Amino acid sequence: MDRFRTMESFVRVVHAGSFSVAASQLGLSRALVSRHVGDLEARLGVRLLNRSTRSLNLTDEGRSYLSFCEQLFRQIEGTERAIVRTRSEPTGTLKMMAPKSFGSLHLADAVIAFARVQPRLRVSLILDDVSIRTYDFLEKGLDLALRISSMRNASVIERPVAPLEWILCASPDYLSREGRPASPADLARHDCLVHVHVSANDRIWRFQGPRGAVSVKVSGAFFSNSALALRKAALAGLGITFVPRYCVAGDLAAGELVPVLPRYRVPARPLMAVFPRMDVVPQKVALFVDFLTDWMAARNVNAMVGRMPESA
């Protein structure tokens, strides 16, 4: 016999003061409800109710057990209400990881705005340029990661959030010293600052020019998976770099970095929200991804000039 059903029948009999009334309320037969209470007493080894033709009276053990059952049912109902409420009011913690450059410049503002509209949800934002692996979601307790490169793994879902423009740029000092390239092929003889772990072959730079697509294999003395580090290297005159526009927008506006090969378009790359594949996406994850997508769409993040942090 199902323990929960026997407990439910017992509580309903006590509150109704009658086996017949309790059976009607539960949609069961009187005999089955009586059997539920009898089985419960047999399992506990005590009498819970003193029965007579006119009344039902709780024994001392029955009174104590009734209190236990009522407390248990209240806890169950409270927990179920809380779970249902999370469908419209998510609670708990949303833990995410993002690149330092994007996180420092723009994601922090989006997270703050999200926290204002979801006050019951705690948000933990980790900024790190270390490439995330699929098992990091479990080991680090991550719900979500933001990336500018695909993980190419069937165990995760990748949802595009916004297109990010990339730009080829260098310092005026470097260009005056080494010369300005006239075509992508000229990059092969320049010092190029390469953003690693972004594409399948980071040293192949691709462009769309007046005569169609063109690519060139580049090399240089400095490589990094941090756009902030590449920006600093470019500002120091170390070479030509290929980075997201948002992290150098202020330097371009100030003339400290200048575009290289402006007639050649660099394909945009998507900022992606990545989270573990499961039957149902947690609502807190779905809400944030939708919020960030709308937040990015409402702003021209590629052109926004923010204060670039000094740490890389």
pLDDT digits (tens, 9 = 90+) for 5-31: 899 999 999 988 899 999 998 899 999
What's the average model confidence in pLDDT over 148-152?
A: 77
Question: Cα dihedral angle (232, 219, 168, 96), rounded to 10 degrees?
Answer: -60
Instruction: State yes or no: pLDDT of 56 exceeds 60.
Output: yes
> Radius of gyration (Cα) for the chain, nearest Å?
32
**Residue 73: other Cβ atoms inside 10 A:** 14
pLDDT at 92: 84
Instruction: State yes or no: pLDDT of 311 exceeds 50.
Output: no
pTM to 2 decimal places = 0.62
* Domains of the chain, first to last: 3-85 (1.10.10.10), 92-164+270-297 (3.40.190.10), 166-267 (3.40.190.290)
3-class state of residue 215 by DSSP: strand
Q: What is the crossing angle of helices 30-44 and 19-26, to 10°?
A: 110
- Which residue has better confidence, 246 or 188? 188
Confidence class of residue 304 from pLDDT cuts 50, 70 and 90? low
What's the average model confidence in pLDDT over 32-37?
A: 92
pLDDT at 164: 87
Contact 177, 237 (CB under 8 A): yes
